[in-house]
Amino acid sequence: MKILEINKFNFLVGGGGAETHFQDLIDLLQANGHEVAVFSMRHRHNLSSGWEKYFVSTVGYSRQYSFWQRLKGTGRIFHSFEAKRKLAELLDDFHPEIVHLHNIYHHLSFGILSVIKQRKIPIVMTVHDYELVSPDREVYDEQIGSQYWKFLMVKKYSFLQRLLLVVKKYIYSPQRIDRLVDRFVVPSYFLQRILVKAGITESKISVRPHFIREIPFDRQGEEVGNIPYAFYFGRLIPGKGIDQLVAMFRDLKGGQLYLAGSTQDGYKIPRRDNVVHLGHLSPGEVRRYIRKSALVVSASRLPETFGLIGMEALAEGKPFVALASGAYSELVENGVNGWICQDTTEMKKVIEKIFNRELPFDEQAIQAAAKEKYGSEKYLKELLNVFEEAKNGQAN
């Protein structure tokens, strides 16, 4: 099948789940004989792509981008003639049977959907966050719902940023996107319920948890000591509960906390003697640290739409311990493959019990169950079925 994969970033952003899944899926599709083209934005960190001549120019919203790139990015939140023109050229060159969208907001804009619909190509969108239904991509607030103007009162971002996000949400409402997209793929029932509540047609939504990547075990690198440790990897930002994790280890006995990933927006990790920041690690290195850990942890309070960190822990047979947040409970069965905690006090006690071997887990059973549930062959088969449904629906 000829498939066009679209995401605003063609590189891994601080260990973020959406970009990781995007790249893994491209590899999986190509490994199974499918012809894949990519549409994205130019960036100095981009992975190599034979389709880069069609990529749109760089824009951004932080101080690392030039004034012109930030100004142009403000306009692209709403529309981009450049993105529509370059995508049209790619579509006419590649002639895909299906267009598969991921995160396209801001850097590409939802305006590109009209170019695809004009050519009557079926559209499938994998939803990774709340951007489709909320001004705030990290959270869907039922108190705001479709009254997007209420987000102006939320103390988050600057007022100008909140205003731009609210205006964009009124222009690209969930109902408008719902009319343009043939099928939606979500990684959890938790996210499905929110999309339906916000106005997305339930019959269009397929729940397909992400899949386990096949990554070679990296046996090189720094030796891991004999002291047991809890491992976190991903974005190192306050919203992911890093401060709370570090605070838990202030007087926690019996082990250490290892953190992998890059800090963002000037965030400083609090210093503790038993907390080790490993910096950015390759996927193979991450797997090595998972395998040698006692457990994998997350203290995120964000309503997580899935939790790649949890799935990758289970894939290596390690228990996943996390706060009750979003879809995490769909991955974990308490006492079987991890523990979902109601607060940091409970979480600290569970970690200590694992360090002291008072709460044992069957690592082989955890790994076997994860591979059965999150296998790549199963995921690919189910995703291709969604693609076929979209094609058949389009034909009708």
Measured CA to CA in angstroms, residue 26 lies from 40, 109, 146, 308 at distances of 13, 21, 34, 17
Per-residue burial over 101-134, b = 16 or more CB atoms within 10 Å of its CB, e = otherwise:
bbbbbbbbbbbbbebbbeeebbbbbbbbbbbbbb
Q: Which domains does the chain have, with CATH numbers?
A: 2-211+375-395 (3.40.50.2000), 229-373 (3.40.50.2000)
Task: Indicate the pTM of the whole model.
Answer: 0.91
Lowest-confidence pick of 3-17, 20-34, 218-232 = 218-232
Q: What is d(CA 164, CA 149) in angstroms, rounded to the nearest whole number?
A: 11
pLDDT in the model for residue 239 = 82
Q: What is d(CA 27, CA 8) in angstroms, rounded to the nearest whole number?
A: 17
* Average pLDDT over all residues of the chain: 92
State yes or no: pLDDT of 198 exceeds 70: yes
Predicted confidence (pLDDT) per residue in 289-330, tens digit? 999 999 999 999 999 999 999 999 999 999 999 999 999 999
pLDDT band at residue 12 under the 50/70/90 scheme = confident
Task: Write out the two tokens for 179.
Answer: 């009319």
Q: Among 274, 229, 231, 235, which residue's Cα sits nearest to residue 251? A: 274
pLDDT band at residue 270 under the 50/70/90 scheme = confident
Predicted confidence (pLDDT) per residue in 89-108, tens digit? 999 999 999 999 999 999 99
pLDDT in the model for residue 395 = 38
| 15: alpha, beta or left? (left if phi > 0; alpha if psi -120 to 50) | left
pLDDT band at residue 396 under the 50/70/90 scheme = very low
Share of residues in the chain with pLDDT > 70 (%): 96
Predicted confidence (pLDDT) per residue in 117-167, tens digit? 999 999 999 999 999 999 999 999 999 999 999 999 999 999 999 999 999
pLDDT in the model for residue 216 = 60
User: Which residues, other chains included, contact 274 with Cβ-Cβ below 8 Å and sequence gap of 6+?
Assistant: 249, 252, 255, 256, 257
Lowest-confidence pick of 31-40, 276-285, 351-360, 375-384 = 276-285
- C-beta neighbour count of 165 within 10 angstroms: 22
Lowest-confidence pick of 20-29, 74-83, 274-283 = 274-283
DSSP H or E segment with residue 339: strand 338-341
State yes or no: pLDDT of 217 exceeds 60: no
Q: Which stretches of 211-307 are DSSP H helices?
A: 242-248, 283-292
pLDDT band at residue 283 under the 50/70/90 scheme = confident
pLDDT in the model for residue 218 = 55
